[in-house]
Structure 1
Amino acid sequence: MTEYTVVPEFPDPETYVNLRDAAGMAPRSLAAAERGLPNTVFGVRVLDGEEIVGMGRLVGDGGTVYQVVDVAVHPDHQGRGLGTRIVDELVAYLNREAPPSAFVNLLADVDGFYEQWGFEYSAPASKAMFLRVTDDGVPRRE
């Protein structure tokens, strides 16, 4: 059985883009990753030897609001508890570092996964919304 290592460092932009793609997540351009990843509040990567096979990170202002994003595991390594280990690390960071009044949110694409850490659906009290920006910089209606 493979021994995985969770490291408190987020992958480089190219690995990030490739791992999102492999995991079937919405694509991000390398230019966007190079611009955005330095703003990571905290992130982890999962290693199988030297190969990065999983990742997850927190973004936000580091005090009032945090968002769990980019939790991904390469398909060849899914089903081995790596997503759970990633979110365990992210939540442990929040428990250590986030002020008691901080708001932590996420947009889940997996039903029944994040509840084990205490995440709750926000509706009907609030509703998640999004805006997708196109290549020409104009918001697109879906």
Structure 2
Amino acid sequence: MSYELRDGPPSVDDFVRLREVAGMAPRPREGVERGLGNSVYAVHAVETAGSGSNSAVDGTAGAGPDGTVGMARIVGDGGSVYHVCDMAVHPDHQGRGIGSEMMEAVMAFVDADAPSGAYVNLMADVDGFYERFGFAETRPASKGMYYRVE
């Protein structure tokens, strides 16, 4: 199989689907519809038609209708705070370097866009992955926290 990275977020349907199949907490469709366009940066991975499979056409092997199998994005103010989030690769396509390629694209954007001293953060759920890109745990100096609107 071969893949292509495309700048910009995936469709709303693919975003919702990828979070679900990757075991991530669901996001309300209304929030996704409002939020995706506000990304500071986004990239998604698409299985290309020349990959020897019909997944880009018929949705098999975990690809969305347009072949989307992965996504990553940055939210924030575009100057002092950048939050890497919504990094997901469909389980049928994991272990092929897609996540690493998307993270390299995210970090290339940060390197080109973020001014010196900008704070880049994320919530890591995969041990050892983000450390390869220079991220370090904040504990004990600080701890990650969240609040979910009910």
Normalising by structure 2, report the TM-score.
0.86
Shift of 1:69: 0.2
Structure-1 separation of matches of 2:77 and 2:8 = 18
Of the three residues 72, 76, 87, the one matched with 2:92 is 76
Q: Secondary structure at the match of 2:86?
A: strand
Larger RCO: 1 or 2 (CA < 8 Å, sep 6+): 2
Q: 1:85-137: per-residue Cα shift (whole Å, max 9, x none)?
A: 11000000000111011000000011111001110000111111111111xxx
1:126 aligns with 2:122: no
Two-structure CA RMSD over aligned residues (Å): 0.8
Aligned to 2:47: 48
1:39 aligns with 2:38: yes
Structure-2 separation of matches of 1:3 and 1:52 = 12
Q: Secondary structure at the match of 2:73?
A: strand
Count of residue correspondences: 133
Aligned to 2:17: 18
Q: Percent of aligned pairs with the same residue?
A: 50
Aligned to 2:83: 67
Aligned to 1:138: none
Q: How does 1:83-94 map to 2 (within 5 A)?
A: 83-94=99-110
- Return the letter of the residue paired with 2:114: A
Structure-1 separation of matches of 2:83 and 2:119 = 8
Aligned to 2:28: 29
Structure-2 separation of matches of 1:123 and 1:25 = 23
Aligned to 2:3: 4
Structure-2 separation of matches of 1:128 and 1:23 = 21
Q: Secondary structure at the match of 2:46?
A: strand
For structure 1, which runs of at least 5 residues remain unmatched after alignment? 135-142
Shift of 1:29: 1.4
Shift of 1:37: 1.1
Aligned to 1:140: none
Normalising by structure 1, report the TM-score.
0.91
- Which consecutive segments of 4 or more residues in structure 1 shift more than 4 A? none
